[in-house]
Each structure stands twice: as C-alpha cells, then as structure tokens.
Structure 1
Amino acid sequence: MKIIDLIKKDVDRKHFSFEVLPPLKGTGTEKLFNTIDKLRDFEPLFINITTHHSEYTYKELDNGLLERQSVRRRPGTIAIAAAIQNKFDIPVQPHIICSGATIEDIEYELLDLQFLGISNLLLLRGDKAKDDKSFKATNGGHLHTTDLIKQVNKFNDGFFEDGTKIKCSGQKFDYGVACYPEKHEESPNIEMDLKYLKEKQDLGAEYAVTQLFYDNNKFFSFIKRAREMGITIPIIPGIKPFTKTSQLNIVPKTFHCDIPDELAREAIKCETDDEAKQLGIEWATSQCEELYKAGVHSVHFYTVSAVDSVRKIVNKLL
C-alpha cells in the first residue's frame, strides 16, 4: 500500500512510524528484529530503513603514508527492507540516496526493489563525506535530490537514464523526501530551503519527513511558511527522544537543531543518563501530545539508541 494513502487513512487516530539502521557489516539481524518486535504491537504505518553507501577510512601503508579508502559499513538496506516486509508484514520505506552512488547503481537498486515488490521510497541526497567541506557528487552520480527524483520519474515512465526503454516496466515507485524545520545546514536561509522543498513537491514528492527537532514552535513556524509558499503535501514531524546528558552538546552539532532553553535547563540538572532518559521521554511525550492536538495525524520516531524510550512514549500516547 502507498505510504501517502496510509498517512491519509483514519486521520482521527494517532499514528506513528519509525526509522531503523541496517546492521553493521558482519553482524546479524537479531538486534534489528528485536527493535521491531518491541514496536510492532503499536501498528506502525511504515518502517523507514536508512542507507549508508560509503565512508572514508585511512589505511597506513608500509611506507608510512596514509591511503584514503571508501568503505561501506552498513550494506544491505534493500535486503533488510525485504526481510522486514516479509517477516513482519509492515510496509517498508528504504532510503535511496545520491551519496556514494552512480546513476547506474541507482538503476540497479530500483530494479532490485521492483523484483522484491517494494515500491515506497524516501529519496535523499545523503550526507557529505566527513572529510569533505561540502557535498561532492560521486563520479557519474547526482549532486541534488531533485536530480534523483527526475531519474525515478523517468524510470516510472519506463525509461533508463540513457533513454533506453525498459522492456518490462514493473510497479511504479511512490516517494517522499526530507525537510528541515530549522533549515538544512548547507542552506543559507529557510526561504531557500522551502523553495527546494516546493520544487521536490512539484516534481512528484507526495509527503515529507522532517529532521528531528525539540522545539514545536519551530515546526509550527516551518509549516506556516511552507503552506504560504504553496507546499501542500503532508509533512510528518520527526522526533528523537533525548537519552543521555552528553546529547546536550552532541545533538545540536550533529543534527543542526536547537535545544530549547527549558529542556537545556532541565538536562543540566540530570546527574545520570537514567535521569536524562526519563527527561527525554517526558519531553518527547509532551511534544507529541501538542503535535497531535494541533492536527498532526502521524509522528515519525528516530529509534537509534532510543527504542525503549520510544516504546514508553507511544504507550503513553495511544
């Protein structure tokens, strides 16, 4: 079933979805499946699976010099998506990203997904390499999400990127995109960020999922500006519970979002991670209650290092 249809279904109920990471290279699926087991009873609308095409590591050579190598630490996004869909019968939404992928790589990903009967995607540019000052397209790859969207649209129309007609076109893909209530780190201002979101909508994006945030006022302001610019697609808020005292400094740097003053003051009082975890549960629960009260129908949870917290939050909400 299309995710956009799930989002619009039973709008009087409180819905949620969540994101998971594929297992690290060389590890099994037990931990991942345990995560899903803890949350499946709440009937999530869908499960979102991240992808990480490559990271750079440095290997010391015999001559003492360092050689930069590209390494995939979390392979298997498409396989994991298929495994989850088959094992749990829950709609899945794998990430398809520009980062680390050529146009041909993406075509093969789309073909594999069609063979597996997976048609819901989240289309993203992906992160820049840690050592790069700005995002660099892979040789033969895309620089922007809009270019990726155009490739998927062309594939849906029955053509490969080089114009070759696909002899047996399968089920068409439906897709969402990401958005940023406090703007993308590389965007000069929120207006330009919204302009790109509008462009993604006009190209065919059916919904957007936000980067995590802790200040609902910033989300509400973002929604207001988006609607004023003609962005009409559903925008799903992304929530990640605060779980450790160290996140007071780490989260703003990593995700480029502000910690509200009230939350920061309470977090500073926490003497242990258990206290911080409880604070995170209380804050995220209040966030979600306010969002639902304001007319939001579905909340998306980022579960990494926060599965138990998410379970407690959803228990309080439903």
Structure 2
Amino acid sequence: MRISHKLEQSHKENDIPTFSFEFFVPKTSQGVQNLYDRMDRMYNVNPQFIDVTWNAGGRLSNLTTDIVQTAQSVLGLETCMHLTCTNMPVDLIDKALKEAYDSGCQNILALRGDPPVEGGEWTAVEGGFQHAKDLVKYIRNKYGNHFDIGVAAYPEGHPEETDIDLLIGFLKEKIDAGADFIITQMFYDAENFIEWCQKLRDQDINVPIIPGIMPISTYASFKRRSTWCEIKVPEEFENKLLANKDDDQLVRKIGTELVAEMCSKLINSGFVKHLHFYTMNLEKSSIMVLEKLGLINSNEQTQNNTEALPWRKSLNPNRNSETVRPIFWKNRKYSYITRTQDWDEFPNGRWGDPNSAAFGDVELFTSGLLRQSSKRCIELWGEPKNFKDVSQLVVKYLQGEVNSLPWSDTPITAEIDSIKNELIEINQNGILTINSQPRVNGEPSNHPAFGWGPKDGFVYQKQYLEFLMPKSKILKLISKIELINKPFNLSTNQKDNFNYLTYFAIDFNDDLITNSKDDSANAVTWGIFPGQEVLQPTIVEKVSFLAWKDEVFRIAEEWSGIFEDGSDSKNTIKTIINDYALVNIVDNDYVGESKIFDLLKQL
C-alpha cells in the first residue's frame, strides 16, 4: 500500500500518531540475517512501514532490493526503498525499480545521494540524473501512480546550501515533480522545526511532513551524528547529556526523555502525525522513546492479535490469494516463501496443488538453511556433546531462554503456555519437539494468544505435535495409536474405527508410515466469522510433509557440519540424523481430552 494512503487511512480511523523505522544495509551476510531477525521482532510493535537505505557509498550490489523483497514478501512489512542518483545510470535505476515493483513494494524515497567519501563535489554518472527531482519525474513518468515517492528535506540547511528559503524552493520543485511525502533529516530543535513546517505550508507544500527522529543511545554517537549532520543541539540536550556522558545507560535514559519530549512538541504542533525513527539497525532506543510517548507498551512486543491469518501474510502481490499453508513451516516462513516464490498458482486461495512438481527443492537454499554463520550457531546453540545437551537446548527455547533453534527461526510465543510443561517433560525423556499447537475450541478471534482474523469471530485448533524420536520406538508408537483409534465399544461388543489420531512418520531414508490418505489435506486451524465461509488456513498433508522432512534433515546436516569430524558434537547430531524419525500427530478430537502427550509418556 502507498504510504500516503496508508497514513491517511490510519489517521482517519484513529487519531493516534503513527511511526515507522529506517534500517541500513549491513556489511556482512550474518549482519543481514541479524537485521531480518530484528525487523521481525520490531514488526510486533506495528510500524506503519519500514524503509531500507540504498547501499552505502553507491555500491552496485543488489542487497537493498534483496532486503526489500524479504521484508515485503516474507516478513509482511510495508516497505519503502531508498533509491539514489549516486553511481546510478538509468539501466541500474530501472533494474532496482523493477525488482521493487515485482516484490510488491509501492514506496520509493528518491534521493540525490551523498558526495564521494574521499571529498569533492557531487557529480552525476554518465547516463544518470543530476537532481532528486529528475529521479522523481522519471519514476512518475515510467510507473504512473504505482509508487508513492518520498523526498528528503533539511529543516536546518544542507552542507552544500545553508539558505533555508532556497532549500524550500528546491523542495517545492520535487513536490511539483510528483513527490507524495517528505522525510526530514534528523534534528533536535523542535521550535525551529515547527517554524520550518509553517514555511512549507505557506509555500503550498501540503504533502505529509514526516520528521526523522534520531534516538540517543550514547553520548559519543549523539555528538558524532549531530556534528556530521551539522544540526543545532539545544542547550538543554547538551547540558544534560554532557554531565552524564560516561554512563551509557543513564545517557540513553536521559536521551529517551529529551527525544520523547521533542516528539510530543512536534505532535502537539499539528504539523506532525507520524514519526520516522532512524534506528541505526538497533532496537532498544527507538522502542524506549515510543514507550515513553505511550504509542506502544512492552506487552505489545508479543503476538500481534490483529493478524488476518494465524501466519504472517506476505505483501507480495503474487501471493495475495494465499490463505492456506502447511503447518510445518509455521516457524520457518523464510524457507516456505523461498520454496514457493516462483509458483504462479494459488488456486482458490490455497497454497497450491498438493501434487505440484513446482514445490521448490531444498537445494534452492544455496546460502544454507541454518541462515547463520558457524560462529553465530555456536553462540546461539553451543556445542552439544550428547543427546541430553540437545534436549536441554530445546527446553531452554521453550522457557524463553533461547530465541531460536536450528529448525525454528522465531521465539516461542504464549500460544504454547497451556502445553509447555508437557513439552518440557517429553523433551527431557528422549523426544525432541519441532513444532506444536494446543487444541482450541471456539476462542474469540481477539484472544491474546490464539486470536486471528476479523473481529467477532471464533477460532479453533486441533492439537498438533511434531517431533524427532528414535526409530526403534516407531512401531510401538503406532500400535498405541491404533489402540486409541480402535477402542472397544461395550455396547456393540466390537472395536470402533475412528482416526482420533492421524500421523506421518518418516526417517532420513524416506521410509514413510502413515494412516492418512495420500491426497487428503487435514485442516488443523480454522475460523468462523460473521458473513464468511469457514476459513481453514493451516493444514497437514503428505506432499508438503515430505518436502519438510528433507528440510529438517538438511538442517541437521548443516548443523553437524560446523563441528570437527570425530567431535562429540558432530557425532551426536549425526546420530539423530541416522537413528531418529520425524513424526507428526494430529489429534482430530478438538473437543475431548488431549491424547498426544499421554500417548508419548507411555513410551
């Protein structure tokens, strides 16, 4: 959605100020991964959009468009892509715009760009644009109204031009060329900014003015950034921060109070309804300011209960009709989106033909399924020497002490609270849980842990558990499932036959055992909403489970690969690959007593 339209809609529905975050492109692949994790967490405080800077120094890699694609398609974040004229001939600009368009991005921040790092005047490359207004015109002429186009503004002057009135004239030219909104450079002088906003309105510049807010985390960074941007620092800021400059924690606390007070003045002026935070790829400082302003609270950084579906919906237009996903990728949305990104069919809103050969192969993941460097893997998960160490790692994850696992990209949520003790117990007794959900029988659609979809609805879930267990116990497990599914009926003197529990079990060598039909899809989550058909957004079925099995064992292979040959850690994980099977069980009786945990305790 276009930013100007989104803000107009949001402020019309609710007069509460809104906010957004800016991120820059990291220099390393692990930095990019860490940024995705941070963006994913910050999604939960409900920013209106994020923006991603163009690669620093005008480097010509495609990292910016890659991050925009991931944010838009995988993370479901409305995204604005910076695009500069620096080192950008028209063919590269066209390529960047096409990639943004294809990802579903509808917002561009059109910038001239910075002069060379080594000094000297800024000059356009051959075949490039001289001014940001020329880039604005080009985008508008080529793409019509598809993109919202933002431009930069400088309330306290620019290093190359200190005349504010002249800069406002240049800004007016960019607006007249087709720009839809303004994002300003950082500042700390609220009164000066408010006066500047009045000058813009006097010049008939009536698009949204979005102030760029730079939180204060340390005194050194505060001085460095304010000096580099040549902005005025109010005496109050300087005095309070300087007096405590050696105490980073106190500086951040004081900085939060000063910046929050500044933001309140901006909002009360009537010129500002939206705040744009320069995060510097950090999380805490921006969140602290927002909390101080009362725009979020700590409890909001959990599950966002206004989700349309129980999984994060992609904003890529090619996936607009998608309303069903296999549950196996509940905590691995990156790999699921990658597997299916080239599909051109989501028939009837379904995730695709269950027999489709288009379901992406695990080999698509050339950069690795773990998505972490070897060093980072060890930092996150240690060096397990035996099976007990691996099971204890899962327990720590369930207790919220670890934010991810090799097979789970996301932190644990409140959804599992009702079954957490049982999950911990079975992990301590030789079974490694991969994925789970408790049964839910008609909870309101605004429930803090289970809610999704429109208001005034009710949601349902079958209990689901997926785990790795020794292959030697599979037959015993199946025999006990059969006893549950064929109980003795005293009134008829014979065994009933109802699949209370359906299951899939498969090992690394593809030996599959199941009591499910090959072509069946078992809905394990559904919702009932006024005036709509029943929504069934999460399913279990065979073809996707087989694809997921490849991923699980490949993840384990990659994990073992970070350890030396012959080490206890490598041998432990290799043993899990060779001697364990991947199993999932669905309890189709979502009304009666839960059966899965009692079943596993018997083993």
Where does residue 17 of structure 2 map in the other structure? 14
Q: Are 2:111 and 2:132, in contact at CA under 8 Å, matched by a contact in 1?
A: yes
Where does residue 314 of structure 1 map in the other structure? 290
| Mapped partners of 1:308, 1:25: distance in 2 | 22
Where does residue 162 of structure 1 map in the other structure? none
Counterparts of residues 45-124 of structure 1 (less than 5 Å)? 45-52=48-55, 54=57, 75-124=62-111
TM superposition shift of 1:208? 0.2
| Mapped partners of 1:120, 1:229: distance in 2 | 25
TM superposition shift of 1:53? 5.5
3-state SS in 2 of match to 1:9:
helix
Deviating 4+ runs (over 6 angstroms): none
TM superposition shift of 1:305? 5.6
What is the TM-score with the length of structure 2 in the denominator? 0.46
Matched, 1:235 2:238: no
Q: Are 1:248 and 1:259, in contact at CA under 8 Å, matched by a contact in 2?
A: no
Q: Are 1:24 and 1:75, in contact at CA under 8 Å, matched by a contact in 2?
A: no
Q: Are 1:248 and 1:264, in contact at CA under 8 Å, matched by a contact in 2?
A: no
TM superposition shift of 1:248? 4.7
Which structure exhibits the higher relative contact order, with contacts defined as CA atoms closer than 8 Å and separated by 6 or more residues?
1
The one-letter code sitting in structure 2 at the alignment partner of 1:299 is: L
Could you tell me which runs of 5 or more consecutive residues in structure 2 were left unpaired when the two chains were aligned.
296-603
Q: Are 1:100 and 1:137, in contact at CA under 8 Å, matched by a contact in 2?
A: yes
Where does residue 36 of structure 1 map in the other structure? 39
Could you tell me which runs of 5 or more consecutive residues in structure 1 were left unpaired when the two chains were aligned.
56-70, 158-170
Where does residue 165 of structure 2 map in the other structure? 191
Deviates more, 1:119-128 or 1:269-278: 269-278
RMSD across aligned positions (CA)? 1.8
TM superposition shift of 1:79? 1.1
3-state SS in 2 of match to 1:246:
helix
Q: Are 2:86 and 2:125, in contact at CA under 8 Å, matched by a contact in 1?
A: yes
Matched, 1:139 2:126: yes
Deviates more, 1:97-106 or 1:283-292: 283-292
Q: Are 1:243 and 1:306, in contact at CA under 8 Å, matched by a contact in 2?
A: no
| Mapped partners of 2:21, 2:251: distance in 1 | 22
**CA offsets per residue over residues 85-120 of structure 1, 9 Å max, x none?**
122212100101101111111011112222222221
Matched, 1:178 2:152: yes
Where does residue 255 of structure 2 map in the other structure? 280
Q: Are 1:53 and 1:101, in contact at CA under 8 Å, matched by a contact in 2?
A: no
Counterparts of residues 140-289 of structure 1 (less than 5 Å)? 140-157=127-144, 172-270=146-244, 271-289=246-264
| Mapped partners of 1:147, 1:305: distance in 2 | 30
3-state SS in 2 of match to 1:122:
strand
Equivalences, count: 289
The one-letter code sitting in structure 2 at the alignment partner of 1:285 is: A
What is the TM-score with the length of structure 1 in the denominator? 0.86
Q: Are 1:25 and 1:75, in contact at CA under 8 Å, matched by a contact in 2?
A: no
Q: Are 2:211 and 2:276, in contact at CA under 8 Å, matched by a contact in 1?
A: yes
TM superposition shift of 1:284? 1.2
| Mapped partners of 1:10, 1:141: distance in 2 | 37
Matched, 1:299 2:244: no
Q: Are 1:122 and 1:175, in contact at CA under 8 Å, matched by a contact in 2?
A: yes
TM superposition shift of 1:261? 0.8
3-state SS in 2 of match to 1:96:
strand
Name the % identity: 30
3-state SS in 2 of match to 1:101:
coil
| Mapped partners of 1:89, 1:248: distance in 2 | 32
